[in-house]
Structure formats: structure tokens, C-alpha cells
Amino acid sequence: MEHLPEKTIRQQIIDLLEKGDHSVRDISKAIGVREKEIFGHLEHIHLSMKNRREKLRISPYSCQACGFIFENRKKFTRPSRCPQCKKARIDAAMYHIE
Ligand SMILES: [Zn+2]
């Protein structure tokens, strides 16, 4: 089997998320990959698991100021500000696989 670096990173992320909830920052710290790169991997994991028994579960971003929850956000990147109160204090989304 081929061992592309990208594959290894993706598998490391999957292994991590199977153990429980992690934010992108947690993943970044655990496997030493920049946060910016992780969003793409998450997107791919999300799509590749669509038709499988295992799924990527997402606890969405939320606003620290007013509690707004970004439930319908399609993108994995952090929202810059809250659409409701316009503040920029956003709690990280968490991911796990089950
Ligand atoms: Zn808000």
C-alpha cells in the first residue's frame, strides 16, 4: 500500500476523532499540522463518511456573547463574527467520529 503523507495525516485525524471530541486546535496540537490544513482534511473525512456506518459528528461553532449556534454552517472554517450580535467571540466547533 502507498503511504502518501496526506493519507497519514488524514488517518491520524480519524484515529484522534474516534477517541472523542476535538477542536481543530486540539487536532493541530496533537498531530503537528497547521490549523489551516486541517479544515480540508475534515471536509474530506466528512464527505467520505457520508455513506458509511461511521460518521463525522459536529458540535457547531457558537457565539460566546449571545449563545447563537452556527447550526447550518457548511464550511469548516471558523466564522469571523456572530450574525446575531456581531461580536467576534466564537467558541470552537468540536468533531468526533462514531
Ligand atoms: Zn452572538
**Whether residue 5 has pLDDT greater than 80:** no
* Interatomic CA distance for residues 80 and 31, integer angstroms: 25
| Ligand 1 center to 95 CA (angstroms) | 21
Mean local confidence (pLDDT), 42-66 = 94
Q: Is the pLDDT of residue 2 over 60?
A: no
63 close to 84: Cβ distance less than 8 angstroms: yes
Q: Give 1's pLDDT tier (boundaries 50, 70, 90).
A: low
What's the pLDDT score for residue 66? 98
Q: 69-97 pLDDT, tens per residue?
A: 999 998 999 999 999 999 999 999 999 99
Report the C-alpha gap between 6 and 10 in whole angstroms. 6
pLDDT for the residue 3: 56
Classify 5-97 by CATH class: mainly alpha
CA of 70 to the centre of ligand 1 (A): 10
The overall average pLDDT reported for the chain is 93
Residues around ligand 1, an ion, CB closer than 5 A: 63, 65-66, 68, 82, 84-85
Residues 63 and 52: their CA atoms lie apart, in Å, by 31
Expressed in angstroms and rounded, the spacing between residue 64 Cα and the centre of ligand 1 is 7
SS3 31: helix
Annotated domain spans of the chain: 5-97
